[in-house]
Structure 1
Amino acid sequence: MADALLSIVLDRLASLIQQQIHQEVSLVVGVETEIQSLTDTLQVVRAVVADAEKRQVKEELVKVWLQRLKDITYQMDDVLDEWSTSLLKSQIERPESPSMSKKKVSSCIPSPCICFKRVAGRRDIALKIKDIKQQVDDIANQSNGFNFTSRFGNEEPQRLITISAVDISAVCGRDKDRDTILRQLLGKSCEQNLGLYTISVVGMGGIGKTTLAQLAFNHDKVKAHFDKRIWVCVSDPFVPIRILRAILEALQGQSSDLHDPEALQQKIQESIEGKKFILVLDDVWTEDYQLWEQLKNCLNCGGGGSRILVTTRSESVARMMRSAYVHSLGSLPLEQCRALFSQIAFCGKSTDKIEELEEIGKKIADKCKGLPLAVKALGSLMQSKNNKQDWENVLNSEMWELDVFEKKLSPALLLSYYDLPPPLKQCFSYCAVFPKDHSIERDDLIKLWMAQSYLNSKAGREMETIGREYFENLAARSFFQDFQKDEEGNIVRCKMHDIVHDFAQFLTNNECLIVEDDCENLKTNLSRQKCRHATVIVHGSTRSSFSVNNARNLHTLLVVFNNGYRIDPLDSFQQFKYLRAMDLSKDTSIIKLPREVGEFIHLRYLNLSYCRRLETLPETISELCNLQTLNVRYCRKLKKLPEGIRSLINLRHLQIRADSCMLRDLPKGVGRLTSLRTLSFFIVGDENGSDVCKIEEIRNLKELRELEITGLSKVEDAGEAEKAELKNKEQLYGLTLNFLPWRSQPVGMKEVAEALQPHPNLKSLRIESYQVEEWPRWMMEPSLLQLTQLFLSDCDRCQCLPPLGDLPLLESLKIKWMEQVKYVGGEFLGSSSKIAFPRLKHLSFEDILEWENWEVKEEKGRKVMPCLLSVEIIGSPKLTAVPDLLLQRTPPIKLDLNHKKIEWAKEEIGGSS
């Protein structure tokens, strides 16, 4: 991890030197020499870091040395980022072009006061660099006493090895355990007993307790047997009110705003009274019976035969909970352990290679001591290695000699971690900032990595693309689990196993901190540690603030608001001047951000989503020239964005929900944000407004990947629409065209739609509120050859559907609210290909109220929808039949007709050729 930090600093040093040369901006005399000497020393230190990171596990002094190195590296990063920001601001303030009038140029010349501040600022930076140089020299001298093994100083970072994440569909070796738990859950002998019947699964971390509970919880017999099924991850600490809220949310299927314990208990009792339920409490640690009793008392009203299934590492917990049955989960049997390892490690390897490595593989699997988590980690590691010598090196590694199983640190994880390139080590260890069992959004995690400068965008590659590769590589190596995927099979969110999370916390030592308590505890914890990344999970019901004088060096602050607790950002956050990432999402107390937020010059990630009372952002936000991500989704009362937002030249993701805020326009000048990749809300300004965005500003946003345009009915002239130049945006893969608000006479709407033809590279398209009888020409011919997802909604005047069957890659099609459509037939299938809808998997119709007839004919030599998996038809009361062609599929498709499942629909659907 220190290696990755040093790499970031060295890259920044090189970049700043080049900037200084090109911009002719120099610091005080002599600093150039200091910088070159600092660079040389850092290169020498970096050469021994890999050896130091391996030795820190056994040698405490090496661990202390590494911690000191990381501390000074963070300080260097802060100073260099301050310097970089100073250069960036001076660049922004320069005249836009040489042709500007003398009057305008003179107005751009900074005042003497500002110039003095800049000189003073540069001198301050120079002094900090000299001080850091002295400390780095001291650290380098210290390293000589450890006799570290060096590597080449100019060694290039290890290239990522692509491996595949193996989907383990069958869980090896747990059939007997599963059947035993099922007998306890479904047995009738104890149904009349008073009190709750509790079953506990006890075993060491990584042994498979949660997996076993999932097997039972999701079993068909369990689904049929219980009226209510509830799953809650408890972890540590055991907070009854948090668990009560989780139970209620599981019962209701939605989040709850209740914070009063009595109200929560009442709602839960109303939901389960007289009903047979199963409640899984996963990962329980507390041995305090009083805490358990608070929870148990509100569950006694359930029906006879209700069950509570607990997973825990401690037999004392099982006894405290008065478990009627305790199941001790042992290690995987040797043969099952080897089978699981082989399934992962030999995936994609040739028969000859498997024969060559099989015996070594068995020995490696045996070293995992029957722990499934360790087996998966080692299997994923070995999948990327084809050389016999590499396999023998893992088998004979000194890591196996470490007595670390009892310390919650698996040699398998150590081996997998040390095999990672330095940037991936940094990205993985950063995940220690999340609480245990936290659902990690892939895209948010990548944006947080970007904010910390972990994603090097050399060779012109997108940081977001590199981030996705890093994420997938970590997922394939079993550092992530519990994947949720989108329709295309991409992972969108995941979790970390507790043991993996413990390992990440071990690596970060005091750098990442999670505090789940009151403000006094927060103050104590942050003050005594050199913390750089913190998550604050606060509970309570009173408004408060905190001030932590010794935590000024935070780079990340993620605040999780529970139970109505509120923190005043003005009092709390103005001290954290080095923040790169701040997440205040779901704080419903914030009405406006303080103007002091403009002092957070290092800030790159600002998440204010779900701050439902937020009305305005301060103009000082324009000072955040490093900002990459601004998320104000679901800020329902947000009325306007600051005029100065056009100064955020590094902004890459502006995330807004068009249907969940009070914004009526965007400020003029958004077209200057040429770094934008995501613009999820572009509302066309009123034609009479002079200070609002016009559609032509989209022209300069050449890097857009995702774009939503709302208010297209205001664009009456096709020439004006053409200025957006959508057809030239090769990078754009996701587009929404929304023609709201409607006009009584949609004059010129078709011409405007014609002018908004996207580039053929587009992959996802939404068209909403299109009020013309005819579709634009580019919808009537197969021009969008890369399109995989299409959603048509509220197109009330359209009487027929476009020939979408000609789209060769379309996989998901949703059609909603088409009031004039009565017949769907051959025109829908198209005519230019031998296969209509050759890739379509999911087809959905909703609220096609007048739809009466649907004909699908498979002509000779032409197939129709050969890959179809599911059809959903909701709210079409006049449609009485579906085509026979769909009903006769083998295997049958999954059909949902007006909310009623066809009795023969299979639960697991496979494609047909």
Structure 2
Amino acid sequence: MAEAVVSVSLELLDSILLPTAGFIGEQVRLVGDVDEEVDKLKNNLQAIQAVLLDANQKQMNNRAVRVWLNRLKDACYDVEDVLDEWNTEIMKLKIEGGYVHNAFAPKKKVCCLFPSPCFGFKEVVLRHNIAVRITEINKKLDAIAKEKGDYNLNVIPTNERPNYQRMQTTTFIDVSDICGRDVEKNNLVRKLLCGSSEQRLQIISLVGMGGIGKTTLAQYAYNNGEIKSNFKSIIWVCVSDLFDEFKIARVIIEGLKVPPPNVGDLQSLLQRIHDSIAGNKFLLILDDVWNEDHKKWEPFYHCLKNGLHGSKILITTRKKSVAHIMKSIDIINVEELSFDENWLLFRRLALSKRPTHESEKLEEIGREIVKKCKGLPLATKTIGSLLQFKRSRDEWQRVLHSEMWKLEEIEKGLLSPLMLSYNDLPSSIRKCFSYCAIFPKDQRIGKDKLIKLWMAQGYLGLEKDTKLETIGEEYFHHLATRSFFQEFSKYEDVIYICKMHDIVHDFALFLSNGECLAIEVNIGDNDPFINSSNKNVRHLMLKVNKGVSFPMSICSVKSLRSLLMISDDRENALSGDVLQNLCKLTCLRSLRFPNYRVEEIPKDIKKLIHLRYLDLSSQYIVQLPESLSELYNLHTLDINDCLDIVELPRGIEKLVNLRRLINYGCLALLYIPKGIEKLTGLQTSSDFGISSEGDNDSKACSLEGLKFLNNLDQGSLTIRGLGFVKIASDGKINQLLTNKENLTRLTLQFYKWKKMERRSFQLITPGGGVSCEDYELVLEALLPPPKLEWLKIKDYRGNTFPSTWITSLTKLKSLFLWHVSNCKNLHPFGETAVP
């Protein structure tokens, strides 16, 4: 992880000091005689970076090296903060001086670079402070750099470093199938289907060490057709380390598909379960149970006995004592795979895609490596996924004889293959993996949101000519092929959700060394940050359950870079005091609190100058503060389903790095500000509202403004209010959509909604002077994008659809027409589906 942080700092430093950036180069001089300190900073970082791969390997057996790496990480985070602040100040000068690219005007000349109307004494002092902070950081790095000699750290030769290759040419391998285990599978199914047990509630246990395949066997049972037909309800609960009675009870109620009780105390939850399973033959699967306190299990046991005779509970656990405490008599011991079964699994991963002659040369070494995996399927999957990318015998020999096989932390026999696979990753992908420790165990992880979070931390680089989302896709795919992710949900063969095996999650936590943390706060819990051991956390996922006050101590953790809050209850609210204090977490790069009852965002949001990702979705916000437009680094603003929001900041044009404006479902938002036309890097704007007469035309972006957003080609786009558009006499609107080559989903809505009161809307229509021909002219002028696959047209009052549209929709797969009553006939659509 330290290597990754150093890389980010160096890349950020280079981006500021590029010799071609004339304006930026001039601004550097404003901070005084800082050239020497900047050179020293860069030299220190490069010298340390050269030995970091060796340090990462030695830290496993040398605690002093690990402490040294932690000190280095802290210093580099300070470097990143000060450089980002510096870069932001330069950006601010450029924006306020008019040097940012503008679609309507040529670039201006550089103004005077010394105190003048362009900037004042306050700005010069700020730049001087930045110089002072760089000097202070250099003192820390000097000491750290000198200490590296104490640990005999070596520079790893280039030919032994991980060689990252773009992933487009590799084939994704899904390793979720069970290899072998026929005896265990048959035994488990037999026990679950057997109805002759004298126990009213039979409890079956799968017991074995971590990574042995217990969860995979339980999943096999959960998805088995014969078992599904034998039980009315099948419920899956991931229990994990902490036996959280409230969480377990709520998940069981959800699995039973009954409404939860109005009161959230444990007794009410258990009573609802007791009543709901009466006469119900159910199978409850409790995965990864650790609890050895029978008092916590006892209320559940008595509650669940109310089910129909033949109901079963299946638990997976690493401890046989847990099975006994939970009154389990039927215990299936899940042993290591036989060598032959393990070899088949390994060969399928590492050798199946190679020519026969190449596989034969590697088979002998492969068999020796499989022996080191000790019959653990997870170890075999991990190391097999690593070796599928290694082509030569030398590379395989290096893995076979690695010192990493001597490591025994995390879980016996599993740290070695995980660490081998991890160390083989480029530093840019390592930091992406360790960041995943922010998610709780068994959390379903959305791929797109994960990529946005990586981007916010700078993990995907600062490239200007490459879409960072594409790099994120490649990194995700790389980790998936190495078996760091599993249990994929796909749509048309594209992964959109995944999970991490609990052992892999433990490994990610081990690597993050306290930087990543997931906390769930319930009634009666202690303040999570009273304990000083949490003070160094930098990435936090927080779930505050119903009836619990927000733990204000979190606002004292000034080092936080990610704060992702979760709420399952729309009644949870964040008060103005909480939000005001959150604005003091000035190191934040990601801030997310959807589904909370928030009505106003404080003006002090502008203090979060490093913020890249802001998720305010499903809030009660009426208006975003104008100061939000001072978040110059923001690349994602998510206001999805903010039904009450009526206006975006007029200064939205200052958000020069905004790539995604996710605003679908903002029905009260009648128009988009005119300044959005200048955000030529914008890739996503879910909902584009067109102003009608009297809708502050001077402030609103017109339909023609779409033509400046040439990169607006990701995801889907909705254009609302087309019925209010007046087409010029030439009947042409040039290249509004036709130049958006990757736009595949489009909604054209001719009417729009007007907000009457909170969450209450009225459909508004164009005035009586608008004819059927006016509608047809708009549609004829607005030619579709070339790769459109999905089209919805709403409230269209034309008599026919222009032939230019019909002939242009060559890629269309789905067409939805809503309220198009005037249209008497449709031209032939060929293979187009018309629901």
Please say whether Structure 1 and Structure 2 have the same fold, judged by a TM-score greater than 0.5. Answer: yes
Number of matched pairs: 799
Q: Distance in 2 between matches of 1:678 and 1:256?
A: 40
Change (3 A) 1:155 1:87: farther
Q: Is the 8 A contact 1:433 1:512 kept in 2?
A: yes
Asked if 1:523 is matched to 2:549, the reply is no
- Please name the residue that 2:725 is paired with: 715
Deviation at 1:778, TM superposition (A): 4.1
Asked if 1:226 is matched to 2:214, the reply is no
Q: Is the 8 A contact 2:44 2:142 kept in 1?
A: yes
Q: Distance in 2 between matches of 1:776 and 1:110?
A: 60
The worse-fitting range, judged by mean Cα deviation, of 245-254 and 699-708 is: 245-254
Asked if 1:30 is matched to 2:28, the reply is no
Deviation at 1:510, TM superposition (A): 2.2
Asked if 1:636 is matched to 2:643, the reply is yes
**What's the secondary structure of 1:88's corresponding residue?**
helix
Change (3 A) 1:352 1:544: closer
Deviation at 1:763, TM superposition (A): 4.9
Q: Is the 8 A contact 1:72 1:132 kept in 2?
A: yes
Q: Which among 666, 680, 698 is matched to residue 674 of structure 1?
A: 680
**What's the secondary structure of 1:591's corresponding residue?**
coil
Asked if 1:576 is matched to 2:620, the reply is no
Change (3 A) 1:277 1:528: closer
Q: Compute the TM-score of the two structures, normalised by the length of structure 2.
A: 0.89
- Please name the residue that 2:614 is paired with: 606
Q: Which among 498, 509, 512 is matched to residue 505 of structure 1?
A: 509
Deviation at 1:321, TM superposition (A): 1.1
Change (3 A) 1:329 1:768: farther
Q: Distance in 1 between matches of 2:136 and 2:723?
A: 61
Q: Is the 8 A contact 1:686 1:692 kept in 2?
A: no
Please show how residues 385-400 of structure 1 align to structure 2 within 5 Å.
385-400=390-405
Code of the aligned partner of 2:630? E
Please show how residues 105-124 of structure 1 align to structure 2 within 5 Å.
115-124=120-129
Q: Is the 8 A contact 1:43 1:153 kept in 2?
A: no
Q: Which among 628, 649, 667 is matched to residue 621 of structure 1?
A: 628
Deviations 1:168-221 (A, max 9, x none): 47411122211111111111112x744x22111111111111110111111111
RMSD of equivalent CA atoms: 3.1
Code of the aligned partner of 2:558? R
Q: Which among 311, 316, 334 is matched to residue 329 of structure 1?
A: 334
- Please name the residue that 2:818 is paired with: 794
Asked if 1:538 is matched to 2:544, the reply is yes
Change (3 A) 1:549 1:296: same
Please show how residues 746-765 of structure 1 align to structure 2 within 5 Å.
746-765=772-791
Q: Distance in 2 between matches of 1:306 and 1:316?
A: 23
Please show how residues 387-536 of structure 1 align to structure 2 within 5 Å.
387-404=392-409, 406=411, 409-458=414-463, 460-486=465-491, 488-517=492-521, 520-525=526-531, 529-536=535-542
- Please name the residue that 2:196 is paired with: 189
- Please name the residue that 1:48 is paired with: 51
Change (3 A) 1:579 1:193: same
**What's the secondary structure of 1:702's corresponding residue?**
coil
**What's the secondary structure of 1:728's corresponding residue?**
coil
Q: Compute the TM-score of the two structures, normalised by the length of structure 1.
A: 0.82
- Please name the residue that 1:560 is paired with: 566
Q: Distance in 2 between matches of 1:4 and 1:28?
A: 28
**What's the secondary structure of 2:777's corresponding residue?**
helix
Q: Distance in 2 between matches of 1:331 and 1:381?
A: 21
Change (3 A) 1:527 1:506: closer
Deviations 1:232-291 (A, max 9, x none): 212132222212222222232999997454554454445432111111111122222222
**What's the secondary structure of 2:51's corresponding residue?**
helix
Code of the aligned partner of 2:497? R
- Please name the residue that 2:246 is paired with: 241
Change (3 A) 1:626 1:458: closer
Q: Is the 8 A contact 1:729 1:758 kept in 2?
A: no
Gaps of 5+ in 2: 753-764
Change (3 A) 1:627 1:229: same
- Please name the residue that 1:356 is paired with: 361
Code of the aligned partner of 2:69? L
Change (3 A) 1:161 1:542: closer
Code of the aligned partner of 2:181? R
Code of the aligned partner of 1:620? S
Change (3 A) 1:117 1:459: closer
Deviations 1:294-334 (A, max 9, x none): 33344333222111111111212211111131211111111
Q: Is the 8 A contact 2:161 2:424 kept in 1?
A: no
Q: Is the 8 A contact 1:448 1:605 kept in 2?
A: yes
Asked if 1:83 is matched to 2:91, the reply is no
Deviation at 1:76, TM superposition (A): 0.2
- Please name the residue that 1:178 is paired with: 185
**What's the secondary structure of 1:27's corresponding residue?**
helix
Deviation at 1:135, TM superposition (A): 0.9
Q: Distance in 2 between matches of 1:667 and 1:204?
A: 58
Gaps of 5+ in 1: 808-812, 817-913
Deviations 1:443-480 (A, max 9, x none): 10111111011112537211010000111111111100
**What's the secondary structure of 1:415's corresponding residue?**
helix
Deviation at 1:402, TM superposition (A): 2.3
Q: Is the 8 A contact 2:671 2:690 kept in 1?
A: yes
- Please name the residue that 1:739 is paired with: 750
Code of the aligned partner of 2:560? L
Change (3 A) 1:280 1:155: closer
**What's the secondary structure of 1:670's corresponding residue?**
helix
Q: Distance in 1 between matches of 2:160 and 2:776?
A: 58
Q: Is the 8 A contact 1:240 1:294 kept in 2?
A: no
Q: Distance in 1 between matches of 2:256 and 2:436?
A: 30
Change (3 A) 1:201 1:610: farther
Q: Distance in 2 between matches of 1:700 and 1:358?
A: 58
Please show how residues 773-788 of structure 1 align to structure 2 within 5 Å.
773-781=799-807, 783-785=808-810, 787=811
Q: Distance in 1 between matches of 2:142 and 2:159?
A: 20
**What's the secondary structure of 1:308's corresponding residue?**
strand
Deviations 1:727-746 (A, max 9, x none): 12234344332334466864
Q: Is the 8 A contact 2:529 2:535 kept in 1?
A: no
Deviation at 1:566, TM superposition (A): 4.7
Deviation at 1:666, TM superposition (A): 2.4
**What's the secondary structure of 1:493's corresponding residue?**
strand
Q: Which among 707, 711, 716 is matched to residue 699 of structure 1?
A: 707
Deviation at 1:575, TM superposition (A): 2.2
- Please name the residue that 1:547 is paired with: 553
Deviation at 1:685, TM superposition (A): 1.3
Code of the aligned partner of 2:591? M
Q: Distance in 2 between matches of 1:696 and 1:520?
A: 56
Q: Is the 8 A contact 2:233 2:255 kept in 1?
A: no
Q: Distance in 2 between matches of 1:360 and 1:161?
A: 27
Change (3 A) 1:604 1:257: farther
**What's the secondary structure of 1:665's corresponding residue?**
coil
Code of the aligned partner of 1:206? G
Change (3 A) 1:497 1:156: closer
